[in-house]
């Protein structure tokens, strides 16, 4: 995947998180309410502007009709026709519309060539389009105009139409509608953008809390929720969560300290008990008594092994071994671990492959220099021994175990995979806890401390320990920081032990 594609994928994933967040849904509801409110406000503005202009036109038409009706009563049809002709002549642009027609709608006088086809409403108001020139002396293609008028009935079936060309009013109304529409769209867009920004800010702070929670679940109890000191709700939540985490860490440390103290205090008397039992076994005992003493010696050794493991974990977690860190070459380290456990593999007819994957280099010595880490060799040996011991224990006869080290661009990875039953995904974190065992009956040998010691050693070295599905079996990956210049790596042919 290219860097641009990776960035786009991350941005899309973050955008989906923001869109699915409760804050964004709340912001969307706010945008909806704001949009409805703004629409109502803009509708009122339209009614108070364009509507006012239309009412002014209607009032002007009504007043003019009343005046012409008064002239008709006083001066008759001849006087009315004269006044209509004069007014039409004074308005060559045709903004004012006058038409007097007989009962058959035939024009008698005015500036319209024909009576409009539109039907008036119950109050006599009519809106129509002007498809012909407004006066006889105008040439050119007939323009289209929108007119509004009112019909007034006279005696003898005569009809008087008085109106106004409302093209300017229509253009003004359309302009106002466009402005209000753009205003509503821009308001909604700004509200959505503001809601997205607000949601992104909230999601970012919540994600910081979730990230700390995930790291704590992975075993790092020292992590804390970031606090900016603003005193807002999120800051107060962070302060309270950090206090709770500090309390939990103190309680966990207290529990570990108690178990470490118990292991330390009981190891000495158990050692003395083991010594005395061994001395007793060397004496002349009946067969039954000798068997009982042997069982007691085995039980004491089991207890001493568990206490020693607890004390080793405590020493590793204390960080005191960090002072002894030095450069460690992984190639001979893997070889030494494999040689130690080779007889156990042979007893179970298992195949143990060791692959110290070498980078592309001119000779083996320079290749091995690229597979170095900074750490405690004895502790790394112990961690790999524990992992290999578990793999041998749970891999069936005739199975295959692969132990390899490989250099990547950023780190060195030690991988141990087997063809055993593996560990269910939901239990992979739990098996790193002290005394946790998948076998609830605890019938198999062991104390549930091996992987806990590996985890402690990994944390001491700043390494990441991952348990993955080996498909089949289990794959354990120990990712360590590398020393020296990064080189590409290629795997050599496996060495079968």
* Domains of the chain by residue range: 80-168, 233-307, 323-496
Q: What is the pTM (predicted TM-score) of this model?
A: 0.47
pLDDT on residue 443: 53
pLDDT of residue 476: 92
Distance separating alpha carbons of residues 92 and 380, to the nearest angstrom: 104
Nearest in space to 113 (alpha carbons), one of 98, 138, 134: 134
Q: Which residues pair with 159 in a beta bridge?
A: 101, 153
Question: How far is 234 from 201, CA to CA, in rounded Å?
Answer: 11
Architecture of domain 80-168: 2-Layer Sandwich (3.30)
Say how far apart CA 71 and CA 197 lie, in whole Å: 69
Cα separation of 486 and 379, whole Å? 25
Q: Which residues make Cβ contacts (< 8 Å) with residue 14, sequence separation at least 6?
A: 200
**Residue 234 vs residues 206, 208, 210, 360: alpha-carbon distances, Å:** 8, 11, 13, 51
Q: How would you write the pLDDT of the chain (497 residues) with one tens digit per residue?
A: 566 666 666 666 666 665 666 666 777 777 788 878 888 888 888 888 877 888 888 899 989 888 988 888 888 888 889 998 888 888 877 788 899 999 888 999 988 888 888 888 888 898 888 764 544 455 555 556 788 899 988 888 889 999 988 877 777 888 888 888 888 888 888 877 877 777 777 778 888 888 888 887 766 778 888 888 888 888 888 899 989 988 888 887 777 677 667 766 777 787 888 888 888 888 888 888 888 888 888 888 777 777 777 777 777 776 667 777 888 888 899 999 999 999 999 999 999 988 864 444 434 454 455 688 888 888 899 899 989 988 998 899 989 999 999 888 778 899 999 998 888 888 888 888 877 777 654 555 666 788 888 888 888 888 889 999 888 889 999 998 877 543 333 333 334 43
Tokens of 179: 């402005």
CATH number, span 323-496 = 3.30.565.10
With contact defined as beta carbons under 8 Å apart, do 436 and 389 qualify? no
Question: b vs e for 20-48, b when ≥16 Cβ sit within 10 Å of the residue's Cβ?
Answer: ebebbeebbeebeebbeebeeebeeeeee
């Amino acid at each position: 995947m290219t860097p641009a594609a990776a960035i786009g994928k991350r941005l899309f994933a973050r955008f989906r998180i923001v869109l699915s967040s409760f804050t964004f849904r709340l912001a969307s509801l706010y945008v909806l309410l704001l949009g409805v409110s703004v629409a109502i406000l803009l509708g009122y503005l339209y009614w108070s502007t364009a509507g006012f202009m239309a009412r002014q036109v209607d009032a002007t038409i009504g007043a003019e009709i009343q005046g012409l009706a008064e002239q008709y009563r006083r001066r008759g049809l001849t006087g009315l026709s004269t006044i209509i002709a004069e007014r039409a002549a004074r308005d060559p642009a045709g903004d004012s519309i006058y038409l007097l027609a007989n009962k058959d709608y035939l024009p008698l006088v005015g500036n319209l060539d024909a009576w409009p086809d539109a039907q008036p409403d119950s109050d006599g108001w009519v809106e129509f389009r002007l498809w012909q020139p407004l006066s006889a002396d105008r040439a050119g293609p007939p323009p289209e105009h929108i007119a509004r008028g009112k019909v007034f009935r006279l005696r003898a079936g005569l009809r008087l139409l008085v109106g106004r060309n409302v093209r300017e009013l229509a253009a003004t109304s359309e302009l106002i509608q466009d402005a209000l529409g753009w205003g509503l769209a821009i308001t909604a867009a700004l509200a959505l953008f503001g809601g997205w920004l607000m949601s992104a800010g909230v999601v970012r702070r919540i994600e910081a809390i979730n990230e700390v929670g995930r790291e704590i679940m992975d075993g790092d109890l020292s992590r804390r929720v970031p606090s900016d000191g603003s005193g807002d709700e999120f800051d107060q939540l962070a302060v309270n969560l950090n206090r709770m985490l500090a309390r939990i860490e103190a309680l966990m440390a207290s529990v570990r300290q108690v178990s470490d103290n118990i292991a330390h205090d009981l190891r000495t008397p158990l050692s003395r008990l083991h010594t005395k039992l061994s001395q007793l076994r060397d004496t002349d005992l009946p067969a039954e008594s000798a068997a009982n003493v042997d069982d007691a010696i085995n039980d004491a050794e089991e207890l001493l092994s568990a206490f020693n493991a607890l004390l080793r974990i405590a020493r590793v977690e204390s960080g005191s071994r960090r002072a002894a860190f030095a450069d460690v070459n992984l190639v001979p380290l893997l070889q030494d671990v494999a040689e130690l456990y080779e007889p156990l593999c042979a007893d179970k007819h298992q195949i143990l492959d060791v692959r110290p994957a070498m980078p592309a280099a001119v000779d083996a010595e320079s290749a091995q220099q690229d597979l170095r880490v900074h750490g405690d060799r004895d502790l790394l040996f112990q961690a790999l021994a524990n992992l290999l011991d578990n793999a041998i224990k749970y891999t069936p006869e005739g199975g295959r175990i692969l132990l390899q080290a490989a250099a990547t661009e950023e780190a060195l990875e030690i991988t141990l995979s087997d063809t055993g039953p593996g560990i269910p995904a939901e239990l992979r974190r739990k098996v790193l806890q002290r005394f946790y065992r998948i076998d609830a009956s605890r019938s198999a040998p062991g104390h549930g401390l091996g992987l806990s010691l590996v985890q402690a050693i990994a944390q001491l070295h700043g390494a990441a320990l991952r348990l993955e599905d080996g498909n089949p079996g289990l794959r354990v990956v120990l990712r360590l920081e590398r020393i020296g210049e990064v080189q590409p790596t290629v795997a050599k042919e496996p060495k079968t032990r």
